[in-house]
Amino acid sequence: MPGVPPTRFVYLGPEGTFAEQALHTIPAAEHGSRTPARSVPEALDAVRAGDADAALVPLENSIGGQVGVTLDELADGEPLVITREVVLPVQFVLGARAGTPLAQIRSVAAHPQASAQCRRWLQAHVPGATVIDVLSNGAAAHAAAAGEYDAAICAPLGAGRERLAVLAKDIADHSDAVTRFALVSRPGPPPPPTGDDLTTLAVYIAHDRVGALLAVLTELAVRGVNLIRIESRPTGERLGRYVFFLDCSGHVAEARMGEALQGLRRVCADVRFLGSYPRSGAERPAPAPPGTGDVDFADAAAWLAGVRAGEVT
């Protein structure tokens, strides 16, 4: 039912990952059920099938970039919408069984993205250790706890769950790295506007039209809609066919965003609305350009109505 908070959550597992850590920042999830999924498609399909109310999946990392499988899943199949974003600092730790000194570390389990983000730290502090790829940060912590490897690069939550001693904190080469997660649900009324919102779209341009992408950007720019992010993904049809993912400042309930969406619908081959939701973080957006507020659009519409009625002033 619209407006009913979700109680059944699924997230990209296994347990002890950054995704689970991000889910714990959502108050409703603390009081609901939380089930790990083996993959992003599995998590989203659980929502589509009605087996879960919402799924938390990664969208992008400030170092590694977009999470392609999430974007592909949102662009294809039965529609889903983003209702919330969570931006989580990536704070890797090196965990090992109690009593294991750093000097004796000879093997380190890590997800490939985790080891890539900690490469310089590993070279400086455990240069003789062999890094072994595993499927997730949670799996790395579990393997170290089981004695399969001497240590693991993992999330603090995973180290705590597996009772690993933390040999070093904040070992990522980029201390300010973050991962952006999306809480995804079945389509319904979006959360009300807060004044600091994002709208996400999947846009298919008309490939046989010169300047098709410029036309998309123009529809946003002329209405004062700020484009925060644009990513492209192949559609799978053939080489040169792409879908563009846009994050825009604003909410679908606002006049400028509504008119921009109508404009995109006119000039694009297809547009998929992926949600309007509150922006995460403390930074406030730049004020909208003059003439792009709801009052301005209402005044312009009233003036045009008068012109059409012969009441030209």
Q: Could you please state the CATH topology (level 3) that the domain comprising 190-313 is classified under.
A: Alpha-Beta Plaits (3.30.70)
In sequence order, the 6+-apart residues with CB closer than 8 A to the CB of 89 are 176, 177, 178
Exposure class string for 105-128: b at 16+ Cβ within 10 A, else e: bebbbbbebbbebbeebbeebbee
For the chain, give every domain's residue range: 1-89+178-187, 93-168, 190-313
Quote the CA–CA distance of 252 and 229 in Å, as a whole number: 17
pLDDT, residue 208, reads 66
CATH for the stretch 1-89+178-187: 3.40.190.10
Residues 228-266 have pLDDT tens digits of 999 998 877 777 678 999 999 999 999 999 999 999 999
Structure tokens that stand for 206 in this block: 């008309």
Count CB atoms within 10 A of the CB of residue 287. Answer: 9
Domains 93-168 and 190-313 share a fold: no
pLDDT, residue 1, reads 41
pLDDT tens, N- to C-terminus, the chain (313 residues): 446 778 899 999 888 888 998 999 999 998 889 999 989 999 999 999 999 999 999 999 887 788 889 999 999 889 999 999 999 988 899 999 999 999 999 999 998 888 988 999 999 999 999 999 998 888 899 999 999 999 999 999 899 999 999 999 999 988 888 999 999 999 999 999 998 999 999 999 877 677 788 999 999 999 999 999 999 988 777 776 789 999 999 999 999 999 999 999 998 889 999 999 999 875 666 677 888 888 888 888 888 888 888 887 6
Of the options 3.40.190.10, 3.30.230.10, 3.30.390.30, 3.40.50.300, the CATH number for the domain spanning 93-168:
3.40.190.10
